[in-house]
Amino acid sequence: MRLERDSPKVQSERETKIEELLACPMCGGMMKVSSEESKCAGKCRRQFRNVMGQPVLIDFSNSLVSELALFQRKGGSVLRRGGLPKLLSRILSGGNPVAARFAARLDADLRGLSNPRLLVIGGGEKGKGTDAIYSSDHLELFGTDIYASELTHVVADAHKLPFANEAFDAVWIQAVLEHVLEPKQVVSEIKRILKPGGVIFADTPFLWPVHEGAYDFTRWTMNGYRWLLRDFDEIESGYSSGAGQNLLLAIRYAIRAWTGSGALALCFTLPFFWLRFLDRFGPKRSQLDAAAGIYFYGRLSENPLVAQALPRYYENQLSSTNKLSSCSPN
């Protein structure tokens, strides 16, 4: 359950809870948090500014995030958020039933733990399909992003997460890994802050065109994604949006490329919204090779996947359709 922020008492409780989890991004030392600033109690004794009452725990000397720009925006995002109007987004991209299924599953899988902690990386806004984790009466949810919002607790760069080792039971990272400079380093940080046997849900584009402009860097095949997450035992993986959504996107982005008009591209694409429903048909293996988006749900393992296992992993993808499909990358 989220911590409310509408009273001094709750604000103090929130700061105490966060303090228990935080680690200095510079030296790894313990942190002291107040509503005005945050201080490292370890070796470096670094002071960090707050924005919107949240600690900004970023090593700006080694980050894509600009300290000057962040505070000039008063913690706001460098990008315009919201994207398409909700109705258009619903028509062209649908919801995210895959994320919805795993949000409910994650909540259920952690029910046996006492006060399980979930970190949402890229949690500046709610991802599609995530209602179950935000409304859970069992999960202690913490959000972080490179900008501040009502859903975040800490402003941080995922390349150097400002949390203590083994602080969380699970991590939710949806439509984020394509936007980081060093995905391998981010995954390494996720491993560090997860408890042994901790769970991850990771959803990312494969053939989805560029989104978020200059802050879009990388794509993966299913095999490439499995290798990136090789330190996790797979529970389930698949495509979150398939060839139908991919074709719809190709039409939209092609029209925009030829005309330079996003509005014209939308108008031309709307009559073809039905293409995304084709994601529900066809062998899983074939859909994965033409997927707009893919996902992975797994558990931290002591026995990483070896490279020689990847060809068999590809061959062993079941010839079946996903249980749920058709989504957007966030």
pLDDT at 127: 92
CB-based contacts of 211: which residues, under 8 Å, 6+ apart? 205, 329
Domain-embedded: residue 223? yes
Q: In terms of domains, do 45 and 128 share one?
A: no
What's the average model confidence in pLDDT over 226-234?
A: 98
Q: Looking at the 3D structure of the chain, how many domains does it have?
A: 2
Task: Compute the average pLDDT of residues 117-129.
Answer: 95
> Does residue 325 form part of some domain?
no
Could you tell me if 62 and 101 lie in one domain?
A: no
Query: 227 and 139 in one domain?
Result: yes
The residue whose two tokens read 């560090």 is 192
Domain that holds residue 30: 8-72
Q: Do 90 and 67 fall within a single domain? A: no
- With a CB cutoff of 8 Å and minimum separation 6, the contacts of 115 are 140
Q: Is the pTM of this model over 0.85?
A: yes
For residues 95 and 185, membership in a common domain is answered with: yes
Q: Which CATH number covers residue 222?
A: 3.40.50.150
When pLDDT is cut at 50, 70 and 90, the band that residue 324 belongs to is very low
Collect all residues with Cβ–Cβ distance below 8 Å to 188 and sequence separation of at least 6: none
Q: Are residues 55 and 190 in the same domain?
A: no
Q: Is the pLDDT of residue 320 over 70?
A: no
Residue 38 one-letter amino acid: S
Average pLDDT on 156-183 reads 98
Both 50 and 174 in a single domain? no
Tell me, yes or no, whether 271 lies in a domain. yes
Q: Are residues 163 and 29 part of one domain?
A: no
pLDDT band at 268 (very low <50, low <70, confident <90, very high): very high
Across 221-248, average pLDDT: 96
Tell whether 32 and 100 lie within a shared domain.
Answer: no
Residue with tokens 């079946």: 320
Q: Does 171 fall in a domain? A: yes
